[in-house]
Structure 1
């Protein structure tokens, strides 16, 4: 899979191709989620936002939450087919959008909880490794030619009445 964001349907299709593989999640370079992880929930989040250019944006995310118990309960991660049984259970109760963007939510004592995108799924021996990449902020208005913060960005001139000796610097109370 390329750097584009993976859909729920694509993610499931790739998992279903390897039912007997051991499902691993790599959250940082050479760092795998502990094999005793649990899939604690799968949530569907419809997002509606307004960007800095005033455009309304809407999309849906499917967030798979992973949890590492404090004490290891096993030294072998679950097989893909077990994970798919959890997915099937969720989908019997919740109609998940196949075009939704997938995120994996994870954190532990050494790694702050965050939502990451599955960048690619890699076969490594008996393992199917979901290589995660962090999310990044971006200016959505750049898709429409905006330059977000550069001199070409349209700014609003707002008249400010200041008293003598007052300046408009950070912390001055002017802005």
Structure 2
């Protein structure tokens, strides 16, 4: 996985640990916020193994923090960072999370399709730790390796199927002069 917006699990957790007394708020679009009554419903670890269009195998791990907005309008403030950290500690007591795993926040509601987003900038505003969520995007790993995802100037295509291998077959005369059978000789 190659994405310049990503943050690893250890760095994400360290940012939270710096501000346990603040309220944790998530902004998923400009001026659109996850409701203050959200819950962290689960933390998932997803090891990914893939083969890209250039035939190269890739592997990485994602740590997905899932947020849920109840449909009931609960009153109150957003979750304190220390509460989020207690959920993280509970999860880590049962599941060893990859410290280098790429963090994604999974969220959706009736007005916003569920998707996984990167935690962007952490901002402090008064008593809030605000986490701007940044959409993920598809990518071509061949381009990130200096290759192409399409036709190169030399006319090569990284995403095209490989040319079938043509095997050379050597024809050998199996009939030796002395031990050969000829039609009508009675040797067969």
| Matched ranges for 1:80-159 at <5 A | 80-152=81-153, 153-154=156-157, 155-156=160-161
Matched residue, 2:53: 52
Q: After TM superposition, give the deviation of residue 156 of structure 1 in Å.
A: 5.0
Matched residue, 1:69: 70
Q: After TM superposition, give the deviation of residue 146 of structure 1 in Å.
A: 1.4
Q: After TM superposition, give the deviation of residue 158 of structure 1 in Å.
A: 7.2
Deviation per CA, 1:80-131: give whole Å up to 9, x if none. 0001000000000000011000000000000000000001111011100111
Structure 2 residues not aligned, in runs of 5+: 165-188
Larger Rg: 2
Q: After TM superposition, give the deviation of residue 150 of structure 1 in Å.
A: 3.6
Q: After TM superposition, give the deviation of residue 74 of structure 1 in Å.
A: 2.5
Separation of aligned partners in 1, 2:6 and 2:139? 14
Separation of aligned partners in 2, 1:35 and 1:151? 50
Deviating 4+ runs (over 4 angstroms) = 155-159
Separation of aligned partners in 2, 1:20 and 1:27? 22
Matched residue, 2:176: none
Separation of aligned partners in 2, 1:23 and 1:128? 5
* 69-78 or 115-124: bigger deviation: 69-78
* 25-34 or 139-148: bigger deviation: 139-148
Give the TM-score normalised by structure 1. Answer: 0.85
Please give the secondary structure, in 1, of the residue aligned with 2:100: coil
Deviation per CA, 1:42-79: give whole Å up to 9, x if none. 00000000000000000000000000000122331010
Matched residue, 1:13: 14
Contact kept in structure 1, 2:5 and 2:118, CA below 8 Å: no
Structure 1 residues not aligned, in runs of 5+: 160-175
